């Protein structure tokens, strides 16, 4: 991804493995957009901390962190325990579990862990590029697209899922405009998606989470593209809290609603969204915005990090294999 530091622009990944130092590197997403800081994980517990505390976040990037974390766990002689610790960090994103299982299988079959991890990460990035190509075919010149949370390069190591079609469409000479939901409580839209789009030179505006319906009703949103954390076999999917209401509003206003995600986000073991475990995070994330208390100090708060959107609201799933419907998910999963 393009990262602008002052007048210089450089290419960075959001997660990487430094072979020489034997450490896992992250762009510290907690500091963005104000500072570009890196966080280096020296052992798998540091990687688990990075996932839990959202130094790294976004389903595919969490998967990448986990495969690299497993290199460290293996080196520390704690492969099985490391797998358990990494899997216990956050419950919702399927990529985390898929990634740790990929490494357990590779290590058990005698594969070199660094090679197995890099293979996983390269496959993730290639999937995102293909999602970009397939998704761009849905975008017409001048389209105004709403997105929720951050499903860009930061969330996927590079390139993105929901943002990938927009990047490809722009590179094809189409002009796109992106409506960016701020995404309370952690503000992934305002701080991360807006930062990525700015760095890529893609026209956009940040809106309060509750403004999307207003712009839909006024005819100023042509399509919605969001990412996903886990997709059940029937197409119900979990994504950042607030996604469900955007999907309902989109249907009410006759606006196509797409979910962009690699096959690693599909969970063949669950039949519907009712089986998805929704992470509940600290109420202080709601009571505070960054470090500033914004709620009545004595009032409690609730903070589900994700919600489930039923498949009937989804126009299509943009995957590396093409744009598919909920009815086709079973066929694609059996071909995996
Ligand atoms: O809590 P987060 O920031 O990890 O949640 C991220 C999301 O909900 C993203 O939309 C999803 O992981 C897709 S990222 C390509």
In whole angstroms, give the CA distance from residue 152 to residue 154. 5
What is the pLDDT, as a whole number, of residue 334? 83
Q: Are residues 180 and 325 in the same domain?
A: yes
Please tell me whether the overall predicted TM-score, pTM, comes out greater than 0.95 for this model.
Answer: yes
Q: Is 125 in the pocket of ligand 1 (CB under 6 A)?
A: no
Asked if 229 is an active-site residue, the reply is yes
| 4 pLDDT higher than 90 | no
Q: Does ligand 1 come within 6 angstroms of the Cβ of 58?
A: yes
Query: Which CATH number fits the domain that encloses residue 69?
Result: 1.20.120.420
Closest CA to 91 of 322, 285, 280, 300: 280
- Cα–Cα dist 259/149, whole Å: 13
pLDDT at 82 over 90: yes
pLDDT digits (tens, 9 = 90+) for 153-192: 999 999 999 999 999 999 999 999 999 999 999 999 999 9
| CB contact at 8 A, 283 and 293 | no
| Selection from 5, 7, 25 nearest residue 16 by Cα | 25
Show the domain range for 213: 134-334
What is the DSSP pairing of strand 223-226 with strand 257-260? parallel
How confident is the model over 295-330, as pLDDT tens digits?
Answer: 999 999 999 999 999 999 999 999 999 999 999 999
Q: Which of 211, 254, 207, 235 is nearest to 328 (CA)?
A: 235
* Last residue of one domain, picked from the residues 77, 94, 125: 125
pLDDT at 335 over 80: no
Q: What was the pLDDT predicted at 115? A: 98
Q: What is the dihedral of CA 98, 136, 204, 51, to 10 degrees?
A: 10
- Shared-domain flag, residues 165 and 251: yes
Ligand 1 center–CA 77 separation, angstroms: 31
My answer on whether 111 and 195 are in the same domain is: no
Say yes or no: 108 and 159 in one domain: no
Number of structural domains found in the chain: 2
69 and 94 together in one domain: yes
pLDDT, tens digit, 9 for 90 and up, residues 15-63: 999 999 999 999 999 999 999 999 999 999 999 999 999 999 999 999 9
Residue 314 and residue 326 in contact, taking contact as beta carbons nearer than 8 Å: yes
Q: pLDDT band for 5, please (50, 70, 90 cuts).
A: confident
Mean pLDDT of the chain: 97
Question: Band of the pLDDT at 81, cuts 50, 70, 90?
Answer: very high
Here the CATH number for the domain that contains residue 250 is 3.40.50.10470
Average pLDDT over every residue of 200-211: 97
**pLDDT exceeds 90 at position 263:** yes
Same domain, 180 and 269: yes
Which string of DSSP letters, residue by residue, matches 110-165? T--HHHHHHHHHHHHHHHHHHHHHHHHTTPPTT-EEEE-S--SGGGTSSS-SSSHH
Catalytically annotated residue among 130, 209, 229, 307: 229
Give residue 4 CA to ligand 1 midpoint distance, Å: 23
Task: Calculate how far, in angstroms, residue 222's C-alpha sits from the geometric centre of ligand 1.
Answer: 22
Q: Where a domain ends, among 103, 125, 147?
A: 125
Phi-psi region of 113 (alpha: psi -120 to 50; beta: other; left: phi over 0): alpha
Q: What is the pLDDT of residue 116?
A: 98
- Among protein residues, the one with the nearest Cα to ligand 1's atom 5 is 58
């Amino acid at each position: 991804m393009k990262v602008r530091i002052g007048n210089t622009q450089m290419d960075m990944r959001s997660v990487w493995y430094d072979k020489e130092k034997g450490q896992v590197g992250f762009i510290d997403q907690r500091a963005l957009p104000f500072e570009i800081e890196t966080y280096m994980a020296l052992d798998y517990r540091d990687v688990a901390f990075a996932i839990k505390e959202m130094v790294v976040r976004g389903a595919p990037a969490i998967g990448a962190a986990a495969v690299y974390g497993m290199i460290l766990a293996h080196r520390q002689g704690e492969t099985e325990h490391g797998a358990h610790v990494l899997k216990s960090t956050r419950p919702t994103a399927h990529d985390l579990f898929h990634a740790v299982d990929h490494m357990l299988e590779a290590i058990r079959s005698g594969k070199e862990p660094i090679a197995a991890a890099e293979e996983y990460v390269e496959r993730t990035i290639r999937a995102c590029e293909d999602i970009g190509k397939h998704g761009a075919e849905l975008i017409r010149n001048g389209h105004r697209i709403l997105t929720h949370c951050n499903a860009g390069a930061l969330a996927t190591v590079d390139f993105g899922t929901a943002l990938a079609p927009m990047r490809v469409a722009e590179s094809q000479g189409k002009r796109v405009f992106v409506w960016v939901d701020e995404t309370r409580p952690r503000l992934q839209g305002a701080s991360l998606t807006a930062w990525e789009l700015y760095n890529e030179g893609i026209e956009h505006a940040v809106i309060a989470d509750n403004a999307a319906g207003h712009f839909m009703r006024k005819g100023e949103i042509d399509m919605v593209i969001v990412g996903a954390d886990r997709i059940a076999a029937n197409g119900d999917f979990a994504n950042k809290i607030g996604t469900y209401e955007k999907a309902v509003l989109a249907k009410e206003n006759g606006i196509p609603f797409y979910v962009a995600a690699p096959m690693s986000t599909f969970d063949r073991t669950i039949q519907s969204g009712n089986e998805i475990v929704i992470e509940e995070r600290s109420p202080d994330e709601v009571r505070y915005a960054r470090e500033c208390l914004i709620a009545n100090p004595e009032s409690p708060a609730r903070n589900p990090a994700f919600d489930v959107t039923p498949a009937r609201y989804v126009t299509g799933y943009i995957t590396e294999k093409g744009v598919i419907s909920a009815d086709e998910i079973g066929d694609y999963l059996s071909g995996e």
